[in-house]
Amino acid sequence: MDNETSITIDTENETSNSGANRIDANDGRTLTNILHIIIGIIGVLCNTMIWIVVFKFAPSKTSRVNLFILNQATIDLFSSLLMIIFGVAIDPNTHSGPLGVFLCLFWAPGSDPLLFMLFAVSTYNLTIMSVERFIAVLYPIQYRRVFNKRFCMTVIIITWIVAPIAEYMFPVLKNTVEDGVCTVKSTWTKQVALIVGVFLFHWEFVLPCCIMTVAYLKIIKTLTKKELVVHPENTGEQTNGQRRETSEQAKNSIKARKNVVYTFFSLFVVYVICWAPNQITFLQFNLGGPLDTTGTWFHFTVIWAFFNTFSNTFVFVFRHKQFQNGLKKLLRCSWTETQTEETVMTVPSVAN
pLDDT at 101: 80
pLDDT per residue as tens digits for the range 50-72: 999 988 877 676 688 889 999 99
Contact between 174 and 185 (Cβ < 8 Å): yes
Rounded average pLDDT over 229-246: 53
DSSP string for 148-209: -HHHHHHHHHHHHHHGGGGTTHHHHHTEEEETTEEEE-TT--HHHHHHHHHHHHIIIIIHHH
Q: Which DSSP symbol is given to 288?
A: T
Given the candidates 1.10.3720.10, 2.60.40.420, 3.40.50.620, 1.20.1070.10, the CATH classification of the domain at 2-6+27-233+247-290+308-331 is 1.20.1070.10
Flag the least confident range among 215-219, 222-226, 314-318.
222-226
| Position 136 confidence tier, pLDDT thresholds 50, 70, 90 | very high
Rounded average pLDDT over 275-295: 89
Using the predicted structure, report yes or no on whether residue 333 has a pLDDT greater than 80. no
Domain ranges of the chain: 2-6+27-233+247-290+308-331
Q: Which of 45-54, 209-218, 250-259 has the highest average model confidence (pLDDT)?
A: 209-218
Count H helices and E strands in the chain, helices first: 13, 2
Rounded average pLDDT over 327-341: 68
Give the end-to-end CA distance of the chain in Å, rounded to a whole number. 69
Residue type at position 303:
I
Kindly report whether the global pTM for this prediction surpasses the value 0.75.
yes
Greater pLDDT, 27 or 351: 27
Using the predicted structure, report yes or no on whether residue 92 has a pLDDT greater than 70. no
Rounded average pLDDT over 98-115: 76
| Position 313 confidence tier, pLDDT thresholds 50, 70, 90 | very high
Greater pLDDT, 113 or 79: 79
| Position 176 confidence tier, pLDDT thresholds 50, 70, 90 | confident
Using the predicted structure, report yes or no on whether residue 4 has a pLDDT greater than 60. no
Greater pLDDT, 61 or 73: 73
